[in-house]
Amino acid sequence: MKDSKMEHANETTGQPSEMHHERMQHDDMANMSMQHDQMGHQAGMETMAMDQGAMNHGNMHMDHGDMSHMDMDHGGGHMMHMGNLKQKFWVSLIVMIPVLLLSQFMGMNIHLGALQLPIVFPGSDWLVLILSSFLFFYGGWPFLTGAKSELQQRQPAMMTLIAMGITVAYGYSLYAFVMNHFIAPNGMVMDFFWELATLIVIMLLGHWIEMNAVMAAGNAVEKLAALLPSQAHVVHGDHVMDMPLAEVQVGTRLRVLAGEQMPADGQIVSGTSSVNESLVTGEAKAIHKAEGDRVIGGSVNGDGVIEIKVTGTGESGYLSQVMKLVQSAQANKSKAESMADKVAGWLFYAALAVGILAFFIWLPDGAATAFERMVTVFIIACPHALGLAIPLVIARSTSIGATNGLLIRNRQSLETAKHAKFILMDKTGTLTEGKFTVAKTVAFANQDEAQVLALMAALESHSEHPLATGIKAAAKDQQLKVPVAENVQVLKGIGLQGEIDGQAYTIVNARYLKDHQLSYDQAQADQLAAAGNSLAFLLQKDQVLGMVAEGDQLKPSSKQFVVALKRQGITPVMLTGDNHETAKKVADQLGLTDFQAELKPEDKVAQVKAYQQRGVVMMVGDGVNDAPSLAQADIGVAIGAGTDVAIDTADVVLVHSDPADILNFLSLAKATNRKMVQNLWWGAGYNILAIPLAAGILAPIGFILSPAVGAAIMSLSTIVVALNAMTLHLKRA
């Protein structure tokens, strides 16, 4: 983090916490892209394949092939290369049909009208052997390779259980075939080819449904990519030609006609227009844009024709970064998911023990019966539904969040939010608009007010801070001649310093004056501060030349937001670098009883730690100067997407820059936790009940659970878990 981004000079106390970016810093996107290339590609579903082919929007390449490279994170966090899953399912289903027609079902002959099963003809049993072997190695290969990966990492889980089940079924069936054809032709050792075929097909079907559910949950990423047009009007001198957006590079000059979408992030170099950025930022009103202003790729041009110089496309573009946020959120492991993985591991060892025990208990009834019970236990105990319980809910939740302006970077924040007791909030730009206007300029030491304002505007010409913007605007409105400032530097926690006409000047805050015991009209300063103004002072050496008082306005939703938090039993706390009088006025307007003023960045971190001693803390800031406290908090929420600090330190980014969206986040978190608990109970509870049945505990009353039925029930639980996850929705606050 550069100090220039951490501090600003003319804050009343010089605290970086009061920085608010009205316009997103797209220049930081390239750096942000480099920082997150690895993180954005760690998702277990990195290459999300779909049948409609590949979409490429401005170098934001999203592969949607035919699921030929589907990677899925299962159980203990192992990657299972699924291969062409859809193709494997359909081929296996077709091969399964003759196996069913030619094989005995649990040793029984079945009459379906004129059709008698199994169908027997010379060599039919050999055909069953060949087809079943094909199914085992072709359809079962994803599970075998997944089990190998789990065992190599010494974390046996779901894939190992499935592989064990189909291997035992296939191995025993080979034994039965050899016995019936070569060793004891007159005997009848029952095989499990029928069960093997149905088990593999049902498992593949369950995984296919899982993939479709996950892809449906990830549609928000595709919608973001679809905001960009496929063509751009490239300007070459006096000529304009259309070019595929994928070929547009940074620095290219583009023409955007009225009503068109911005092809990429850029800076206007010619023309003026009103731009609607609601699709990407949530700002509903049209924003006037002129030469020098920046535009976001995906926003809609108004009634003017403009030309822009591309500043970000592909990996460095705003929408690309939004998509990486969604991907990185889905890549992170949450605590609840880790717990689900542990449960899956426990079930594996439980199933192994129960299966072996069942084998020896049933062995007196014959090896076939004993193997049948063991195979059924292994099939039933597969924690497939349990392994899906959390990932599907999280994928769905992060997708819903993205479409509602909530970029959830850290899955853990969804689970931690239900315990939130304190929400600590920055003032400027979070609770207030961050749009400062000069209320009064005061001159000391026989200085002229206009001269004080002009000198401060000269120093502030090197800053884009809201307070700096207010000072520069006031100087422009008064048509003051602003001198040129040189060697301007940021003073961490203090302000700005620079040289004007060979003289050194400094802009500082009230705290600096107190710490250095510099004399000034403190009564007048306190009066202006009590009116809710932020103060900045101009110094020449140790002499205070004057001060500027700037006022800010509360965001319309801030007061209702505070009331809603209290209603939920959450204590809102305001942290600010402003003086106590200004902070108290804002706190009184909002109905806040807890607030801390005149805080430096390290002070805010200390406040976060102090409140953490009393409960779970959520910190809300502008994502720039609040980086340390955002990182320290249990949940860090950044106001305004698009800054490097927001990406680096926040767990959640509010795209709309509206703190009221935190209420939506809390609502989404509660709904998400509810679904996770439901799925965990379904997955674990199903296995707890099914394992004894698979072992044959009800055999004395005539109930025997076959491997095929066990596979069907297990896959049904997978479908239920997936459907339950997909019913998650956001009840907006």
The token pair at 572 is 């809102």
Relative orientation angle of helices 367-380 and 158-178, to the nearest 10 degrees: 160
- 20 versus 361: the higher-pLDDT residue is 361
Q: What is the pLDDT of residues 518-546, one digit of tens each?
A: 988 888 988 888 777 888 999 998 899 99
List active site positions: 426
Q: Output the CATH code of domain 4-18+438-472+483-551.
A: 3.40.1110.10
Separation between Cα atoms, residue 660 and residue 22, nearest integer Å: 17
pLDDT range class, residue 503, cuts 50, 70, 90:
very high
Q: What is the pLDDT of residues 402-439, one digit of tens each?
A: 888 888 877 788 888 989 999 999 887 778 876 778 98
Quick check: 63 pLDDT over 70?
A: no
Separation between Cα atoms, residue 545 and residue 449, nearest integer Å: 9
Residue 133's pLDDT is what? 96
Mean pLDDT, rounded, of the chain: 75
Separation between Cα atoms, residue 535 and residue 342, nearest integer Å: 56
Q: What is the pLDDT of residues 220-229, one digit of tens each?
A: 455 556 667 8
Q: Work out the number of other CB atoms within 10 angstroms of the CB of residue 212.
A: 16
Per the rule left: phi > 0, alpha: psi between -120 and 50, beta: everything else, 487 is left
Quick check: 18 pLDDT over 60?
A: no
Residue 685's pLDDT is what? 76
Burial tier of 47 (Cβ tally within 10 Å: 0-12, 13-18, 19+): middle
- Any idea where the domains of the chain sit in the sequence? 4-18+438-472+483-551
